[in-house]
């Protein structure tokens, strides 16, 4: 089959043919659409942990056909039965062949009916980013109606799902971004206000104006994380699921304990959370935002385009 094939960080990512042999106990999904995550880009740079047998096929998100019906894939491999992942937990698209391909073998219990209000492209955009956003926002931070929620870096795929989920839950949602254009797009979705994360004083001013935030969701870390903590109100929950900028120095410890802030690390989510996330999407008819689409044959270009984070929402591959 044709696929986006990864042979190691010192080899160029390529669109090529690769054997896709049947796997025992698994069903074959004919893929129609796949979506990118920053993880795919980190893998090409050798910055993602894991021990794949190379060559492998990238891609964690997909939507396709099995026995004439459309499904999306839960990308979890061996999460286990507990609320935290088992030691052997991995995500589709590195140790196991992923979705940037014409077909994939997966266990049938990882296939979930495509939400009927969505196109295959919109549905393909959901799995990894939607699951990560759901666990960080709902399971870990307990976001609920009327909470004042701040989502940082709204251009990110996960951030945008967190924003849409928070709006659906009835939260008051605010955002940060490096781009004023993205803040304006977020306002069109129902976000109240946004500030540039490169301007810490504007962030503090926003927090003072609104009275602080109950929930903060971040994937950047770095020095800006301390500013986010200063924006919290008493008893806030802060969810962090990524470290795009880097480690966190200079955190004000008194700010943490006087305000009784809880910081929750979060990664992906269980299969049960995947089902709950789809229920939320179906109930509120949430439509994932697709920034742009490429053909599978242009998948290398699509992955490389993540370098400058110009997207607002998800980048999708069409698979004929
Ligand atoms: N733990 C997990 O399970 C998990 C799952 C998914 C992703 N992640 C990690 O989470 C991060 C985001 O992933 P993604 O797929 O959503 O990425 P993405 O779609 O590529 O988005 C990256 C976004 O990061 C934002 N950003 C950059 N610098 C920032 C800063 N200083 N402060 C705040 N935001 C900043 C930008 O927002 P603007 O464009 O608005 O400026 C950019 O659009 C990555 O590090 C990824 O590896 C972790």
Domain boundaries in the chain?
A: 2-126+288-318, 131-265
Q: What is the pLDDT along the chain (320 residues), one digit of tens a residue?
A: 999 999 999 999 999 999 999 989 999 999 999 999 999 999 999 999 988 989 999 999 999 999 999 999 999 999 999 999 999 999 999 999 999 999 999 999 999 999 999 999 999 999 999 999 999 999 999 999 999 999 999 999 999 999 999 999 999 999 999 999 999 999 999 999 999 999 999 999 999 999 999 999 999 999 999 999 999 999 999 999 999 999 998 899 999 999 999 999 999 999 999 999 999 999 999 999 999 999 999 999 999 999 888 889 999 999 98
Paired residues of 217 in beta bridges: 151, 239
Structure-block tokens of residue 256 = 């943490």
Helix ranges restricted to H, the chain: 38-44, 120-124, 127-134, 157-169, 180-189, 200-210, 224-230, 253-258, 271-283, 299-304
CA geometry: angle 131, 133, 136, nearest 5 deg: 105
Ligand 1 pocket residue status of 197, Cβ below 6 Å: yes
Query: Ligand 1 centroid vs 243 CA: distance in angstroms?
Result: 8
Ligand 1 centroid to 221 CA: how many Å? 10
CA of 151 to the centre of ligand 1 (A): 11
C-beta neighbour count of 145 within 10 angstroms: 8
Report the pLDDT value the prediction gives residue 310, as an integer from 0 to 100: 87
Give the per-residue pLDDT at 115: 98
End-to-end CA distance of the chain: 12
The set of residues, in sequence order, having a beta carbon less than 8 Å from that of 214 and lying 6+ positions away, is: 143, 147, 148, 149, 233, 235, 236, 237
Structure confidence at residue 250 (pLDDT): 85
At 19 the three-state DSSP class reads: coil
Nearest to 54 by CA among 1, 10, 86: 10
Distance (Å, whole) CA 239 – CA 49 = 21
Cα 314 to averaged position of ligand 1 atoms, centre (Å): 12
Ligand 1 centroid from CA 14, angstroms = 24
Please indicate whether residue 38, judged by its CB atom, sits closer than 6 Å to ligand 1. Answer: yes
pLDDT at residue 320, as a whole number: 83
Which ligand 1 atom is at minimum distance from the Cα of 154?
A: 40
Residues 6 or more apart whose CB falls under 8 angstroms from that of 300 comprise: 4, 12, 13, 14, 15
> Beta partners for 30?
65, 103
Indicate which atom in ligand 1 lies nearest the CA of residue 306: 20
Q: How far is the CA of 66 from the centre of ligand 1 (A)?
A: 32
Give the pLDDT score at 309.
80
Which whole-number Å values give the CA distances from 139 to 70, 157, 168, 308, in the listed order? 28, 19, 15, 31
Cα distances (Å, whole numbers) of residue 248 to 71, 223, 225, 264: 39, 6, 7, 14
Say what the pLDDT of residue 110 is: 98
Which CATH architecture best describes the domain 131-265?
Answer: Alpha-Beta Complex (3.90)
**Contact 44/75 with Cβ under 8 angstroms?**
no
CATH of domain 2-126+288-318: 3.90.180.10
Residue 134 in contact with ligand 1 by CB distance below 6 A: no
Please check whether the two domains, 2-126+288-318 and 131-265, share a CATH topology.
Answer: yes
- Give the Cβ contact number of residue 275 at 10 Å: 11
Q: Is the CB of 152 under 6 A from ligand 1?
A: yes
> Which helix (DSSP H) or strand (DSSP E) does residue 264 occupy?
strand 262-265
Cβ neighbours of residue 273 under 8 Å, at least 6 residues apart?
131, 134, 135, 139
Whether residue 267 has its Cβ less than 6 Å from ligand 1: yes
Beta-carbon contacts of 43 under 8 Å, excluding residues fewer than 6 positions away, are 6, 9, 50, 58, 94
């Amino acid at each position: 089959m044709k696929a986006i094939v990864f042979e190691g960080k010192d080899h160029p990512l390529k669109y090529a043919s690769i054997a896709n042999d049947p796997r025992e106990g698994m069903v074959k999904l004919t893929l129609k659409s796949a979506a990118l995550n920053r993880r795919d880009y980190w893998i090409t740079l050798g910055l993602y942990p894991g021990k794949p047998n190379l060559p492998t096929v990238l891609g964690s998100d997909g939507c396709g056909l099995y026995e004439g019906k459309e499904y999306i894939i839960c990308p979890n491999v061996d999460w286990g039965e507990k609320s935290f992942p088992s030691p052997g937990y991995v995500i589709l698209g590195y140790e196991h062949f992923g979705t940037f391909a014409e077909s994939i073998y997966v266990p049938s219990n990882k296939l979930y009916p495509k939400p009927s209000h969505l196109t295959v492209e919109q549905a393909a955009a959901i799995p990894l980013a939607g699951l990560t956003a759901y666990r960080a926002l709902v399971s870990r931070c307990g976001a609920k109606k009327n909470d004042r929620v701040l989502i940082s870096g709204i251009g990110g795929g996960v951030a945008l799902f967190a924003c849409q989920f928070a709006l659906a839950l009835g939260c008051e949602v605010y955002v940060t971004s490096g781009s004023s254009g993205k803040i304006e797009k977020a306002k069109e979705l129902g976000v109240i206000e946004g500030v540039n994360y490169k301007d810490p004083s504007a962030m503090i001013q926003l927090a003072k104006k609104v009275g602080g935030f109950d929930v903060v969701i971040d994937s950047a870390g770095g020095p800006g994380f301390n500013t986010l903590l200063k924006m919290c109100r008493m008893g806030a929950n802060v969810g962090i699921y990524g470290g795009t900028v880097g480690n966190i120095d200079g955190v004000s410890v008194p700010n943490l304990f006087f305000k009784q802030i809880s910081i929750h690390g979060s990664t992906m989510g269980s299969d049960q959370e995947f089902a709950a996330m789809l229920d939320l999407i179906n109930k509120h008819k949430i439509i994932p935002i697709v920034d742009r689409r490429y053909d599978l044959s242009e998948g290398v270009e699509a992955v490389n385009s993540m370098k400058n984070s110009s997207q607002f929402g998800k980048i999708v591959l069409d698979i004929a």
